[in-house]
Amino acid sequence: MADEAISIPNRPNAVERKTLIKLANSLYKSTHFTREETEKLLLTYRNLATVRLDKQKKTPNRLSGSKDESSYLIDRSHFRDLLHKSFGMTDDFLMDRVFKVFDEDSDSHLDQKEWIKGMSVFLRGNLEEKTKYCFRIYDLNDDGYLLRDELFYILKNSMIKQPTEEDPDEGTRDLVEITLKKLDADGDLRVSLDDYRTTVQKVPLLLEALGQCLPDKKQATVFLDDVFSQEGLR
């Protein structure tokens, strides 16, 4: 975890345990997690959401003394810390896009259901789920297509510019044309979800053609091993 955001043991009381168990029971069947795994992911969520490290005092600072589970929310900054430290993500723009896809109700916080549902795809999703997930991240205006402007904007942020380049955008434009040619299966100069799916099914390595938005297998395994090693709710 980042220095500004740490997870420490924060055991729920009996009432909270009952609430979390009930929530896990209602969620796990629609995910790639078992009931016990879902419970432990909810515990991890709870600690991530309720603990901050005060930069000056270097001591835990609770967001709220309330026992209301609705007060346990993960904000954008804290989630980005997790993506960076646990999954090696470095692109600020793409990390914000990952947060946006997790944050289904667009309230700038992740609730428990959004956390579990998002992590199911992020950590254990099948190819179809990951295809839809990545496409949503790259589809900046949510219109169902990846257009040249969107490809340019994303790829421009990921390219390292050389100080001697007279036109630093020229290389990006060239890359946009190459990427469009690869992803545009039907040749209509825009990439639909069907185009993207067709391409990824043929060449799975192109799933993250526009930048990292998923963890690699080792990162996902290390994270889950850490989560599942903690004491459960029962």
* Residue for token pair 């078992």: 34
Q: 204 and 102 share a domain?
A: no
Average pLDDT, the chain: 86
In a domain, residue 185? The reply is: yes
Q: Are strands 145-146 and 191-192 parallel, antiparallel or unpaired?
A: antiparallel
Question: What is the per-residue pLDDT for 159?
Answer: 65
Do 113 and 176 belong to one domain? no
Percent of the chain residues past pLDDT 90, beyond the cut: 72
Q: What is the mean pLDDT of residues 117-126?
A: 98
Domain identity same for 95 and 180: no
Residue 201 and residue 113 share a domain: no
Parent domain of 59: 14-125+215-228
User: Comparing 171 with 29, which gets the higher pLDDT?
Assistant: 29
What residues contact 168, with CB distance under 8 A and at least 6 apart? 161, 162
- Are 97 and 70 in the same domain? yes
Give pLDDT, residue 126.
97
Q: Are residues 136 and 114 in the same domain?
A: no
Residue 32 pLDDT grade (very low, low, confident, very high; cuts 50, 70, 90): very high
Q: Say yes or no: 98 and 141 in one domain.
A: no
Residues 181, 102 within the same domain:
no
Average pLDDT, stretch 204-231? 95
What does the pLDDT read at residue 56?
37
- Same-domain pairing of 120 and 148: no
* Residue 1 placed within a domain: no
Do residues 134 and 121 both lie within one domain? no
Residues 19 and 119 in one domain: yes
User: What pLDDT was estimated at residue 214?
Assistant: 97
Residue 233 in domain: no
State pTM to two decimals: 0.84
pLDDT one-digit tens code per residue, 35-84: 999 999 999 998 888 544 333 334 434 443 344 444 678 999 999 999 99
In this predicted structure, what is the pLDDT of residue 233? 81
Which helix (H) or strand (E) covers residue 51, if one does?
strand 51-53
Per-residue model confidence as pLDDT tens digits over 134-150: 999 999 999 999 999 99
The pLDDT of 84-107, averaged and rounded, is: 95
Q: Is residue 82 part of a domain?
A: yes
pLDDT at 67: 40
Helix axes 112-124, 92-102, angle to 10 degrees: 120
Same domain, 118 and 180: no
Better pLDDT: 50 or 199: 199
Tell me the torsion sign for CA atoms 140, 124, 49, 225. Answer: negative
Overall number of domains in the chain = 2
- pLDDT score of 171 more than 90: no
Q: For the domain that residue 42 is a member of, what is the CATH number? A: 1.10.238.10
Q: For residues 22 and 56, which has the higher predicted lDDT (pLDDT)? A: 22
- pLDDT band per the 50, 70, 90 thresholds, residue 26: very high
